[in-house]
Chains A and B, each alone.
Chain A
């Protein structure tokens, strides 16, 4: 049940009335191995959710997509809706949703929703159905004693686990979690992401989309920083959050904005994706910008650490190995 996700130069455009175009995702490339967690972080509106929707084939009809996204042999971008619905969503890629409360059906108990998903994905019937549903709940640490409750009778943390249990039913090797901890308190955030990490340790690949840097630090193996639709830094989580720290000026600024660091915002606001400046999109906010930044910097570097910046912060000469 292992699978490697490989995304190459993925771009998503939304044409607007009046001839303008939203450049939601531009030239994004990354790999995600089984048993690995990649955190995708960045400011609100930078394109994180559109990227996730593209991988799940859930973009609206007006979207224009370029590039490739392969899960083992299958190209997710060219596969038809029938293939995606029958063979991919829930079975090979599962989505842990942003707001579990709205994802669960309010008028049905957790057990009945789990059983329906089990029936749909595995065809199980009868007593087997019941057992499979209970096992899915257990995998997500959802307490068996709460299975007969309705969503409104669950705390935020339990609702999140119920949604995670639903996502895990099909045994999909790749999990995509879009802001799974928004609005939860720190304790629940920790418990939720620790559960996701257990899935990673059991061999799942996890793309964790989040604005919560502490959550990313807690469970990610690697970090991708997105700015204005592009990945501007892709590197190991330990070096990113610890030493030597990020190399891209925006990534540095984002970390420095944390209250446990200097609590200083990145000046200005992100650009509108339908009116991107030419060249590096971060230039108007960047204190290192020069004439060279009029050309879009490419993401260059090894898998161990790539950055898209003409004047990236340098790290001490590459240590012997990593």
Chain B
């Protein structure tokens, strides 16, 4: 396989007044005492911008996605979401920061609580943040925007296909209206039509709400078609 040409400019945050949706600076992160997976990685996603992050299996893309989504605490470096520093917290980031970012993973079966109906799965972040009243108002439209309706919302994960469950996971990631959506290999398990449908749903939502996107994956054709720009993971490492 020929090496793809490196992105000449992978670090051009737009010079606009709104703060970037995501700023990672000098992130070093890993697991236990093993070698860090990320070393001094920096990446910026502008306000409303869609960035695709490309890299081979096992290169650390998912770790970076988890750091961006405040699900993994880096050993060094800073994370800023919409201009607000998200480091310095001891164990978990404060709730109002966590709700500025939504995340969808590759395997919906691992991500979704099997006991919840799809409706409850989508609404749970609202309930957990004390916004129960919004469930009735927001849920039907949001579910419809990802292609879920009627009887499907009453089913549990084992009663729906991977594609349908992933639609619910996407709606759940959007239910708190995050400024940034992180999609880690969101469509890697899905067929071409379901992939195109989920991407269309994300783009429709982003057009309406101005949400920024960090899409992580290894499908170059897909990410180039989907995002404003793509970044090679290896260009993020310090030279």
Contacts and interface: CB of A to CB of B under 8 A. Distances in A.
Given A186-B219, A187-B1, A265-B197, A43 B191 contact: yes
A183 B106 contact: yes
Contacts of B194: 43-44, 265
B57 A211 contact: no
A185 B219 CA distance: 7
Given A211-B191, A263-B225, A185 B196 contact: no
Interface string B202-235: 0000000000000000111110111000000000
Contacts of A253: 193
Interface of chain A, helix or strand or loop or mixed?
Answer: loop
Contacts of B225: 259-260, 263
Contacts of B193: 43, 253-254, 257, 265-266
A44 B57 contact: no
Interface of chain B, helix or strand or loop or mixed?
Answer: helix
Interface residues of A, number: 31
A44 B163 contact: yes
Nearest to A184: B57
Given A44-B163, A185-B218, A254-B191, A269 B147 contact: yes
A213 interface: yes
A183 B185 contact: yes
Contact of A263 (B57, B164, B196): B196
A255 B192 contact: yes
**Chain A CB within 10 Å, residue with most, of B161, B196, B220, B224:** B196
A182 interface: yes
A286 to B, nearest CB: 13
B189 interface: yes
B190 interface: yes
B188 interface: yes
A45 B158 CA distance: 12
Interface in B30-80: 56-58
B190 A265 contact: no
B196 A269 contact: no
Contacts of B163: 43-45, 269
Nearest to A210: B191
Interface in B122-158: 147
B86 to A, nearest CB: 29
Contacts of A44: 161-163, 189-191, 194
Given A43-B163, A188-B57, A263-B199, A257 B192 contact: yes
Interface residues of B, number: 31
A42 B190 CA distance: 10
Contacts of B222: 259
A49 to B, nearest CB: 12
Contacts of B185: 183
A269 B192 CA distance: 13
A183 B189 contact: yes
Contacts of A259: 195-196, 219, 221-222, 224-226
Contacts of B192: 211, 213, 254-255, 257-258
B200 interface: yes
A190 B57 CA distance: 13
A102 interface: no
Interface string B1-36: 100000000000000000000000000000000000
A156 B58 contact: yes
Nearest to B61: A185
Interface in A260-291: 260, 263-266, 269-270
B200 A265 contact: yes
7 contacts: A43-B191, A45-B161, A156-B57, A211-B192, A258-B192, A263-B225, A270-B161
What are the 5 tightest A-B residue pairs by CB atom distance, in nearest-first order?
A185-B218, A265-B197, A45-B161, A265-B196, A211-B191
Interface of A: 41-45, 155-157, 182-188, 190, 211, 213, 253-255, 257-260, 263-266, 269-270
Interface of B: 1, 56-58, 106, 147, 161-164, 185, 188-197, 199-200, 218-222, 224-226
Given A44-B161, A211-B192, 7 more contacts: A44-B189, A45-B161, A45-B162, A182-B189, A188-B56, A259-B226, A264-B196
